[in-house]
Protein backbone atom coordinates (compact mmCIF):
# COMPACT_ATOMS: atom_id res chain seq x y z
CA UNK A 1 0.00 0.00 0.00
CA UNK A 2 1.23 3.47 -0.81
CA UNK A 3 2.10 5.81 1.96
CA UNK A 4 0.57 9.26 2.24
CA UNK A 5 3.96 10.84 1.53
CA UNK A 6 4.32 8.98 -1.79
CA UNK A 7 0.80 9.94 -2.83
CA UNK A 8 1.46 13.57 -1.92
CA UNK A 9 4.77 13.53 -3.83
CA UNK A 10 3.10 12.06 -6.90
CA UNK A 11 0.30 14.62 -6.69
CA UNK A 12 2.83 17.45 -6.41
CA UNK A 13 4.72 16.18 -9.45
CA UNK A 14 1.56 15.87 -11.52
CA UNK A 15 0.42 19.33 -10.47
CA UNK A 16 3.84 20.87 -11.15
CA UNK A 17 4.02 19.21 -14.54
CA UNK A 18 0.59 20.44 -15.54
CA UNK A 19 1.47 24.00 -14.45
CA UNK A 20 4.67 23.81 -16.50
CA UNK A 21 2.73 22.69 -19.57
CA UNK A 22 0.16 25.45 -19.06
CA UNK A 23 2.95 28.01 -18.78
CA UNK A 24 4.57 26.80 -21.98
CA UNK A 25 1.23 26.79 -23.80
CA UNK A 26 0.47 30.31 -22.55
CA UNK A 27 3.85 31.49 -23.82
CA UNK A 28 3.12 29.90 -27.18
CA UNK A 29 -0.25 31.64 -27.39
CA UNK A 30 1.29 35.00 -26.50
CA UNK A 31 3.99 34.55 -29.14
CA UNK A 32 1.46 33.65 -31.83
CA UNK A 33 -0.74 36.61 -30.91
CA UNK A 34 2.20 39.02 -30.97
CA UNK A 35 3.33 37.65 -34.34
CA UNK A 36 -0.14 38.10 -35.82
CA UNK A 37 -0.36 41.62 -34.38
CA UNK A 38 2.98 42.64 -35.90
CA UNK A 39 2.04 41.07 -39.24
CA UNK A 40 -1.26 42.96 -39.27
CA UNK A 41 0.55 46.22 -38.41
CA UNK A 42 2.92 45.67 -41.35
CA UNK A 43 -0.05 45.07 -43.66
CA UNK A 44 -1.77 48.25 -42.46
CA UNK A 45 1.43 50.24 -42.91
CA UNK A 46 1.96 48.84 -46.41
CA UNK A 47 -1.64 49.62 -47.35
CA UNK A 48 -1.25 53.18 -46.05
CA UNK A 49 1.90 53.69 -48.12
CA UNK A 50 0.30 52.23 -51.24
CA UNK A 51 -2.71 54.44 -50.91
CA UNK A 52 -2.27 57.62 -52.92
CA UNK A 53 -4.17 60.76 -52.20
CA UNK A 54 -6.09 62.14 -55.17
CA UNK A 55 -4.63 65.31 -56.58
CA UNK A 56 -6.84 68.34 -56.15
CA UNK A 57 -6.89 70.72 -59.12
CA UNK A 58 -8.09 74.26 -58.73
Residue 57 in any domain: the answer is no
Residue 10 in any domain: the answer is yes
Residue-number span of the structural domain to which 3 is assigned: 1-47
pLDDT of residue 48: 87
Tally of structural domains, the chain: 1
Computed over every residue of the chain, the mean pLDDT equals: 90
Pairwise pLDDT comparison (17 vs 2), residue with the higher score: 17
Q: Is residue 56 very low, low, confident or very high in pLDDT (cuts 50, 70, 90)?
A: low
Residue 8 in any domain: the answer is yes
Q: Is residue 40 very low, low, confident or very high in pLDDT (cuts 50, 70, 90)?
A: very high
Q: Give ∠ CA 58-48-31 in degrees, rounded to 5.
A: 170
Residue 54 in any domain: the answer is no
Which sign, positive or negative, has the C-alpha torsion 11, 16, 20, 26? positive
Residue 53 in any domain: the answer is no
Distance CA 21, CA 5 (A): 24
Residue 52 in any domain: the answer is no
Residue 30 in any domain: the answer is yes
Residues 6 or more apart from 28 whose CB is under 8 A from it? none
Distance CA 37, CA 42 (A): 9
Length of the chain: 58
Claim: this prediction has a pTM higher than 0.85: no
- When pLDDT is averaged across residues 11-20 and rounded to a whole number, the result is 97
Residue 31 in any domain: the answer is yes
Amino acid sequence: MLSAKRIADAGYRVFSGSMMLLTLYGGYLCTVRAQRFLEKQKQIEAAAQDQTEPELKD
